[in-house]
Chains A and B, each alone.
Chain A
Amino acid sequence: MSFDIPKVAYLARIAMSEEEIAAVKPKLENVMAMIDDLVKIDTTNVAPLASPLEQYQTLREDVVTETDQHVTYQKLAPKVAADLYLVPQVIE
């Protein structure tokens, strides 16, 4: 299987121990074996279907409808100061 679990887990930002990777491996292998059946289906000249409703996007008028709610919203945040959401220092 070309499913590089540590690499994919990194892309998805999910910490996984060696044990967890070992435990999930056979389950993912089963799932991927089932999915691999897809590859054999002939889809020449078939257009992909991304949404069941082949309709067009509706557009909204350019109107400001929202008011300042940041105090309410930030009550739900794990770490806030000076109206800012805080994360460990990002070095650029």
Chain B
Amino acid sequence: MFTYSIKELAHALAAGKISSQELTQLYLDRIAALDPKLNSFITVTAEHALAQAKAADKKLSTGEAGPLTGIPMAHKDIFCTNGIKTSCASKMLDNFIAPYDATVVSKLNDAGMVMLGKTNMDEFAMGSSNENSFYGNVKNPWNIDYVPGGSSGGSAAAVAARLAPMATATDTGGSIRQPAALCGISGLKPTYGRVSRWGMIAFASSLDQGGIMAQTAEDIALVMNAMAGHDEKDSTSIDLPVPDYTTKLQDSLKGLKIGLPKEYFEGLDPKMAELIHTAAKALEAQGATLQEISLPNVKHSLPVYYVIAPAECSANLARYDGVRYGHRCDNPKDLLDLYQRSRAEGFGAEVKRRILVGTYVLSAGYYDAYYLQAQKVRRLIANDFHAAFEKVDMILGPVTPNAAFKSGEKAQDPVSMYLSDIYTLATNLVGSPGLSIPAGFIDGLPVGLQLIGKHFDEARLLNVAHQYQQITDWHKQMPSI
């Protein structure tokens, strides 16, 4: 039953074929047996999960159940969970028991979902390989010598290995889509502002967005119904009605205009290019029309992103000072020592590098040249997307340049690591929704197809992905672990 999608599990629960407690125990057993190989969880909350499952069973038996009641899931350890350790995979928060729930967490609790635990990630969501966790690397379930991608590598590996039917994740520059692609699952980064950021530990506030990883687009639609929406505690969450994301899944693709940005295919690995074109052709066969488009400024995404994200991160992470919570160094001799050593000890190498870069680009004399210039180029990139969306309904391309790479392969040069997000960064800069779905394999490792939509057009992305998943079975492939 662990191979079931959420939709299938919900049917089984509703039909009384299995109870939520049994289902929860089934996943807890799988985690206990298999996660030592993957390291996809930081915290497993068995007791909490079984209590939630018990409550869910009661609702199922009294007919008060919703479509997600009793479905097990996992939260990325970036979402605050009341009374449960929330570490952001950092030594800084190794001792942090969050005193409140993130809005995403309370919404999924309200929907009756059962939290199995908190998944591993790159520290403070900074990384593309899950090699930056205080709790150790996460392994790719397709081949444990390879990285699962990052930063939501734990969520991706857990869903891919069927340790949970679904997991939450966050995406600041590709952190949902890239690991989803590298682990062969589906992952949605919603439009910036569609999902509340309250209780989601900030990396780069103008780019961060919470989202969903699951086996299928249909499952993502089901969870989006519960997770999306305005939150008065988040000024940047948008007060727009939440559609039922499942109603458009069956729509025909006839007349749908899909744009293929030529910049995404220039110099692309031929194996990857072939898979993406094959996928595009499959959509064309279903009635969509394909056309080449140009996003001339998208090539600047990398430097723009690596100015803005570190700048925002350097301020967002200033609160970790060893005073009110989190790591504090032993015997500080004065206030400066308290700050400098607590932060030096509490943060890992990549986080420190990004804080340094962010501090530098905002410092006196460099602000205009770097930060302000990056925000201007960001507008140029946004203008490219606006222009493209005048012509097409959605943009299609690869998620990553290649399939997963080996652990340690890119550890020495941050820029080579950063390049693995080259096709996903722009989406965050302009706030668009982006969806990654499995589109085949290169040398036995999965790769993804990326669909980028207009703001708040998630339902259309999920529709296309669902139609694609009706005629392909890449999303049903499962690693043998």
List chain A positions with a Cβ less than 8 A from chain B. Answer: 3, 5, 8-9, 11-16, 24, 27-28, 30-32, 34-39, 41, 43, 46-53, 55, 57-58, 60, 69, 72-73, 76-79, 85, 87-90
Q: Which of B239, B328, B376 contacts A47 (CB 8 A)?
A: B376
Task: Flag whether B431 is at the interface (Cβ < 8 A).
Answer: yes
Which of B114-122, B348-356, B470-478 sits within the interface? B348-356
A73 to B454, CA, bound (A): 41
A88/B333 in contact, CB under 8 A = yes
A48/B356 in contact, CB under 8 A = no
Q: Which of A14, A30, A38, A55 contacts B355 (CB 8 A)?
A: A14
Q: For residue B328, give the distance in angstroms from its CB to the closest CB of chain A.
A: 4
Which chain B positions have C-beta within 8 A of A27?
353, 413-414
A36 to B379, CA, bound (A): 18
Q: For residue A80, give the distance in angstroms from its CB to the closest CB of chain B.
A: 9
Q: For residue B205, give the distance in angstroms from its CB to the closest CB of chain A.
A: 9
Task: Flag whether B65 is at the interface (Cβ < 8 A).
Answer: no
B302/A48 in contact, CB under 8 A = no
A22 to B383, CA, bound (A): 41
B323/A8 in contact, CB under 8 A = no
B373/A43 in contact, CB under 8 A = yes
Q: For residue A81, give the distance in angstroms from its CB to the closest CB of chain B.
A: 13
Q: Which of B326, B372, B415 contacts A48 (CB 8 A)?
A: B372
Q: For residue B174, give the distance in angstroms from its CB to the closest CB of chain A.
A: 15
Pairs across A and B, CB under 8 Å, 28 listed: A11-B363, A13-B343, A14-B344, A15-B343, A15-B344, A28-B357, A31-B415, A35-B303, A35-B306, A35-B307, A35-B370, A37-B300, A37-B303, A38-B304, A38-B307, A43-B376, A48-B376, A50-B206, A51-B192, A51-B431, A52-B192, A52-B428, A52-B430, A53-B431, A53-B455, A55-B193, A73-B99, A76-B96
Which chain B positions have C-beta within 8 A of A72?
99
Which chain A positions have C-beta within 8 A of B97?
76
Q: Nearest residue in A to B331 (C-beta to C-beta)? A: A88
Which of B158-166, B214-222, B334-342 sits within the interface? B334-342
Which chain A positions have C-beta within 8 A of B341?
15
16 extra interface residue pairs, beta carbon distance < 8 Å, beyond A9-B356, A76-B95, A76-B97: A3-B360, A12-B318, A13-B343, A15-B340, A35-B357, A36-B303, A38-B377, A41-B377, A51-B236, A52-B192, A52-B429, A53-B193, A60-B232, A76-B99, A77-B325, A88-B332
Q: Is the interface of B mostly helix, strand, loop or mixed?
A: helix
B424-459: contact bitstring with A at CB < 8 Å (1 yes, 0 no)?
000011111000000000000000000000010000
Q: Which of B232, B340, B382 contacts A49 (CB 8 A)?
A: B382
Q: Which of B343, B360, B369 contacts A39 (CB 8 A)?
A: B369
A48/B378 in contact, CB under 8 A = yes
A47 to B97, CA, bound (A): 42
A85 to B322, CA, bound (A): 10
A49/B356 in contact, CB under 8 A = no
A76/B324 in contact, CB under 8 A = yes
B306-331: contact bitstring with A at CB < 8 Å (1 yes, 0 no)?
11000000100010011111101000
A5-B356, A37-B300 given as contacts; is B379 within 8 A of A47 (CB)? yes
Which chain B positions have C-beta within 8 A of A15?
337, 340-341, 343-344
The number of inter-chain residue pairs (CB within 8 angstroms) is 164
Q: Which of B357, B378, B379 contacts A31 (CB 8 A)?
A: B357
A53-B193, A53-B431, A87-B338 given as contacts; is B206 within 8 A of A39 (CB)? no
A12-B356, A35-B306 given as contacts; is B415 within 8 A of A43 (CB)? no
Q: Which of B99, B339, B361, B380 contacts A13 (CB 8 A)?
A: B339
B99/A11 in contact, CB under 8 A = no
A57-B235, A60-B232, A72-B99 given as contacts; is B352 within 8 A of A14 (CB)? yes
Q: Which of A38, A73, A76, A88 contacts B370 (CB 8 A)?
A: A38
A53 to B192, CA, bound (A): 7
A13 to B192, CA, bound (A): 31
Q: For residue A72, give the distance in angstroms from its CB to the closest CB of chain B.
A: 6
Q: For residue A7, give the distance in angstroms from its CB to the closest CB of chain B.
A: 8
A43/B377 in contact, CB under 8 A = yes
A31 to B239, CA, bound (A): 38
Which chain A positions have C-beta within 8 A of B363?
8, 11
Task: Flag whether B288 is at the interface (Cβ < 8 A).
Answer: no
A69 to B99, CA, bound (A): 10
B370/A87 in contact, CB under 8 A = no
Q: For residue A17, give the distance in angstroms from its CB to the closest CB of chain B.
A: 9
Q: For residue A39, give the distance in angstroms from its CB to the closest CB of chain B.
A: 6
Which chain A positions have C-beta within 8 A of B307?
35, 38
